[in-house]
Structure 1
Amino acid sequence: MSLVATLISHPDRPAIDAQALARAAEALSAPQAPVLLAAGIAADIACEPDGAPQAIEARLREALAGIPVDVVVQEGEGRRKHLFLADMDSTMIGQECIDELADFVGAKALVAEITERAMRGEIAFEPALRERVMLLKGLPESIADEVVRERLTLTSGGPELVRTMRAHGAYSALVSGGFTLFTARIAEMVGFDEHHSNVLMVEDGRLTGEVAEPILGKEAKRANLERLRQARGLAASDTMAVGDGANDLAMLGEAGLGVAYRAKPAVAAAARMRVEHGDLTALLYAQGYSIKEIARG
């Protein structure tokens, strides 16, 4: 079994130069010549297994200390995935939608604190969501249009990630503990095949302060991954998922490649791959895609 070590930096801050590649090669067993996936941005180095992939990754990170590079070590075969699931808030977009809604009722700081604790796994997701949604009572449903238009930003590399995987036959789903008011819009903007999230209850055009049950939490995210995988007759190794919070852990653990993106510490520690420096195109380079294969808008 041969392994491939992939080094990835941010497209706007290329960091993979001759020095980085040499330091990486010194940390690997019988390294082959690097294969550049994107000049200065991403490279593969095939090597022999002299320990568990996670142990080799740790060695690489130590060797590359001070260089803003993400690393992942995997088997060379089967890297390209056929099913992709993604979290939305703080993953495919840069914000937490519920925090932005709370700003309209003067409760952003309070709600953001609860959100942070829930994403760190310090409190249970479901009751924390109900508590936050209660504070939104009375907001017009149409406020979602303003939030999407004025406050939300797509994460760098996200549209390219989804378009490229779909162009190569993969199926994609946006699975969020947020709300359909936003996932419907973001899924269309990014190019996902389907989306799943929670439903805010509305009466006479205004939020009632309630969320429809059952709440889509961490087990529902995992269940969606299993459902979509089984429907397509795929092995677990054919799947990839990305997220940042504690409610993503079950989904990330179920995926063939679970990726923690700018994640909370417990999530970063548990995920198979973590992205701390690159953008979402890192998930393409981890699959062995080259820059020439990336689908642009």
Structure 2
Amino acid sequence: MYTATLLTSPEARNLEAALVENLRNAWGGGEAVWLSPDEAAEFSLGAMPDNRWDVWADLQGLGVDLVVQKTAGRVKQMLLADMDSTMIQQECIDELADEAGVGERVKDITARAMNGELDFEGALRERVGLMKGLDAGVIEKVLATRITLMPGGRELLATMRGAGAYAALVSGGFTAFTAKVAAELGFDENRANTLNIAEGQLDGTVGEPILGREAKVAALEEISARLGLEHADVMAVGDGANDLGMLGLAGAGVALHAKPSVAAECEIRINHGDLSALLFIQGYARSEFKQA
């Protein structure tokens, strides 16, 4: 059996009952279950529809996300999440670069790296090098004034952990940021890169080895093995090319507001919903969401 989930932005809440019923009838699905009025609904299917991606493309123009997945095992026991532009709304390195006066140059490199056009490790070294001499105190300033959490993140962590799931934040960004974000959201652990500091200033280098695509895959393998879980028990979420390895290995790999080249390689693509979408696709109703 399969489950089709339709959802929209919590702000827009423009999921129409007629649209859900029309698709359910066209696909011969079971009775629609509303997980949140005007926001998210699901119905069962006996087989994967042949025209799933054609329908998905049509719904994108209406501001609606569509996910079709196997019903069995869709409730996951582990969350593995990227941080930048996933659990938070910014790219930390871009915010630091703005403070260093090299924002536009770094943002261009970041965008190309996340789209898979540049080698991640080399791009990170280059960007960090451009910030050599920046006062290390700026990190706290950026955390306090520039970083905002992605909507739905608190509920995602509280609900999954409340159901017994383990949560790990694994970022190609920096430990100075992941430590704070992980503590604020309630992650069980976090992994990231280290900005090297000398005499109170960034020295233009990053700790080696760099945590990139392969390190995120390794984190999924290591943590799931430690917990006695299968890869199928894991939900991974990210938006960049360096996330593709873990997204492909996880039982549910979610491309959240991802670069087109990244989304194209993922079975679960959320372009309109926020992090609460990761609960809807597991079958949680909004009334079941836990608050941090």
TM tier, smaller: over 0.9
String of CA shifts for 1:82-140, please: whole Å, max 9, x gaps.
01111111111111111111112210000000000000000100011000001111112
Q: Which residue of 2 aligns with 1:288?
A: 283
Relative to structure 2, which stretch is displaced further, 218-227 or 70-79?
Answer: 70-79
Q: Which residue of 1 aligns with 2:71?
A: 76
Relative to structure 2, which stretch is displaced further, 217-226 or 133-142?
Answer: 133-142
Q: Which residue of 2 aligns with 1:133?
A: 128
Q: Confirm or deny: 8 A CA contact 2:76 2:165 kept in the other structure.
A: yes
Distance 1:291 1:13 in 2: 15
Matched, 1:239 2:245: no
String of CA shifts for 1:125-171, please: whole Å, max 9, x gaps.
00110000011111122211110111011011011111110000000
Q: Confirm or deny: 8 A CA contact 1:8 1:71 kept in the other structure.
A: yes
Q: Secondary structure at the match of 1:196?
A: strand
Aligned partner of 2:90 among 66, 91, 95: 95
Q: Secondary structure at the match of 2:197?
A: strand
Provide the aligned length of Structure 1 versus Structure 2: 292
Q: Confirm or deny: 8 A CA contact 2:59 2:66 kept in the other structure.
A: no
Q: Which residue of 2 aligns with 1:24?
A: 23
Normalising to structure 2: TM-score of the pair?
0.97
AA matched with 1:271 = C
Distance 1:272 1:281 in 2: 18
Q: Confirm or deny: 8 A CA contact 1:20 1:67 kept in the other structure.
A: no
Please list every run of 5 or more consecutive structure 2 residues that lacks an aligned counterpart in the other structure: none
Q: Which residue of 2 aligns with 1:193?
A: 188
TM superposition shift of 1:50: 5.1
Q: Confirm or deny: 8 A CA contact 2:240 2:259 kept in the other structure.
A: yes
The 4+ residue runs of structure 1 with deviation greater than 3 A are 62-66
Normalising to structure 1: TM-score of the pair?
0.95
Aligned partner of 1:214 among 206, 209, 215: 209
TM superposition shift of 1:183: 0.6
Q: Which residue of 2 aligns with 1:173?
A: 168
Aligned partner of 1:49 among 47, 50, 72: 47
CA RMSD of aligned residues (A): 1.3
AA matched with 2:32 = P
Matched, 1:107 2:102: yes
Please list every run of 5 or more consecutive structure 1 residues that lacks an aligned counterpart in the other structure: none
String of CA shifts for 1:196-244, please: whole Å, max 9, x gaps.
0000111122111110100000000010001111111111211010000
TM superposition shift of 1:59: 4.1
Distance 1:11 1:120 in 2: 27
AA matched with 2:234 = T
AA matched with 1:41 = E
AA matched with 2:277 = A
Matched, 1:155 2:153: no
TM superposition shift of 1:63: 5.6
